[in-house]
Amino acid sequence: MKCDKEGIGMQEIYLDNAATTRVDPVIAARMVEVMTEQYGNPSSLHRKGLEAERLIAVAEKQLLTALGAKKGKILFTSGGTEANNLALRGTALAKQRRGKRIITTALEHSSVLDTARALGKEGFEVIEIPPDASGRVDTAALLAACNAETILVSVMLANNELGTVQPVAALTKEIRRRSPLAVVHSDAVQAFGKVAFSVEKLGVDLLTVSGHKIHAPKGIGALYLADGVRLLPMLHGGEQQGRLRPGTEPVPAIVALGMAGEIAASSLLENIAAVSALRATLCEEISALLGVVQNSPNEEITPFVLNLSLPGYRSEVLLHFLEQRGIFVSSGSACAKGAKSHVLAAMGKSPAEIDGALRVSFSKYSTLEEVHAFSAALADAMAQLQHR
Ligand code: PLP
């Protein structure tokens, strides 16, 4: 295989960045340094421990700054899934004597939806608000569901399948008026580094991010906690992270997440502009292909994700056709492993549109040549594969 100077195969056209991203080589190099030189346990009382503890403090500061938080703290977790579980379950258990209502949306990632549904089986009253046809939450229905017994509202910032951005800041203000007890959480895994936002402006109490969507490794994520927010821990053990998330901190991954957050925030507008241009080209090219349906709207979105459907073709077949040409995209959410999209279904898409859905997702490494290659391969697929 022909390789560029960083050893990455040039034939690979990776357009599945909402599933995961390539680790930034600078971040990977720094992780090796931490693993081999600054390898102390942050809980150790000697100098090596202190050095590791300081690295965590720096990463926390980098993340708080990247999230636009003047105050608050960061709990490092094993990823977005754990942070979402901790946000929902930790809040529900902390507040259960004051109310039982939990409100979320049908658009959420399974780590929110399934946690909420599990809490529903444990005696909480869980309400899932459906989206409208453009893939945004029905805000009137959500606010109508907010009552005095509501203890938690969880609304994602950017949707992983469509890239639609939810009006979290406006919702938070209204939720506070109707449900003064409620903790407001937002899953920002697909928004961090892809949408301009700050936790202060969103007004949320809790916010989830994940490293591997922004060029840090898999297995690291974080939950932002605003000042004064109370959670119960899900794990029990040592004194780490104020006992809210015990366990020896994965310092190299935490350093990576801090760096990735800082890099993403500092190049945010530049990356949004570059990726928006790629997305616009892709939209134009696919609009010339008869029969392709664009599922993602063009406004109030992150440009990093574009969802489309080829009704009459099966996404799995398309996926493998593209793969043979070195092009990697997905049929929807990577976590769903080919299961039909609950998001497209909730939007009222037809079975043929759901069966033939593809998600193209960009990163700062994506190029115009890759977009052209994808569009050309899609046209080939439509010409060569059998329409059902
Ligand atoms: N939330 C959203 C919106 C996601 O897209 C993902 C991952 O796909 C997650 C949460 C889970 O994050 P992680 O893979 O770090 O557990």
> What is the number of the ligand 1 atom nearest to the C-alpha of 156?
3
Q: What digits encode the pLDDT tens for the residues 215-255?
A: 999 999 999 999 999 999 999 999 999 999 999 999 999 99
How far away, in angstroms, is 210 Cα from ligand 1 center?
Answer: 7
Is 0.85 topped by the overall pTM?
A: yes
Minimal CA–CA distance to 102: which of 64, 41, 149?
A: 149
- Predicted local distance difference test score (pLDDT) of residue 281: 98
Least Cα distance to 18 among 344, 369, 268, 360 occurs for 360
Nearest partner of 131 among 295, 330, 306, 279, judged by Cα: 295
Question: Is residue 8 predicted with pLDDT exceeding 50?
Answer: no
Question: Closest by alpha carbon to 357, among 375, 345, 367?
Answer: 345
Q: Please give the pLDDT value at position 10.
A: 46
Tokens, residue 68: 């636009």
Q: Does residue 335 have an active-site annotation? A: yes
pLDDT for 131: 92
- Side-chain half-sphere exposure of 234, counting CA atoms within 13 A: 16
**Residues with Cβ within 6 A of ligand 1?**
79-81, 84, 109, 111, 156, 160, 187, 189-190, 210, 212, 221, 334-335
Predicted pLDDT at 11? 77
Task: Dump pLDDT digits (tens) for 311-329.
Answer: 999 999 999 999 999 999 9
Q: Report the SS3 class of residue 182.
A: coil
pLDDT at position 4:
44
Lay out the sheet containing 357-361: strands in order across.
293-294, 305-309, 357-361
Q: pLDDT tens-digit profile of 123-169?
A: 999 999 999 988 999 999 999 999 999 999 999 999 999 999 999 99
- Mean per-residue pLDDT, 76-100: 98
Half-sphere exposure at residue 139, Cβ-oriented, CA atoms within 13 angstroms: 14
Residue 333's pLDDT band (boundaries 50, 70, 90)? low
104 vs 86: CA distance, rounded Å: 15
CB–CB of 279/370 below 8 Å?
no
Confirm if 339 and 113 have CB atoms less than 8 A apart.
Answer: no
Q: Which atom of ligand 1 is nearest to the CA of 220?
A: 15
**pLDDT at residue 3, as a whole number:** 39
Rounded Cα–Cα distance for residues 13 and 28 (Å)? 21
pLDDT, tens digit, 9 for 90 and up, residues 337-378: 556 788 899 889 999 999 999 999 999 999 999 999 999 999
For residues 304 and 213, the answer to whether their CB atoms sit within 8 Å is: no
Q: Taking 80 as the threshold, does the pLDDT of residue 296 lie above it?
A: yes
Rounded to an integer, what distance in angstroms lies between the CA atom of residue 347 and that of residue 107?
9
Q: What is the mean pLDDT of the chain?
A: 94
Strand-pairing partners, residue 294, are 308
To test the ligand 1 pocket, which listed residue (110, 165, 185, 190) has its Cβ within 8 A of the most ligand atoms?
A: 190
Find out whether 23 and 215 touch, Cβ atoms under 8 Å.
yes
Which pair of tokens denotes residue 26?
Answer: 């600078």
Report whether pLDDT(7) > 70: no
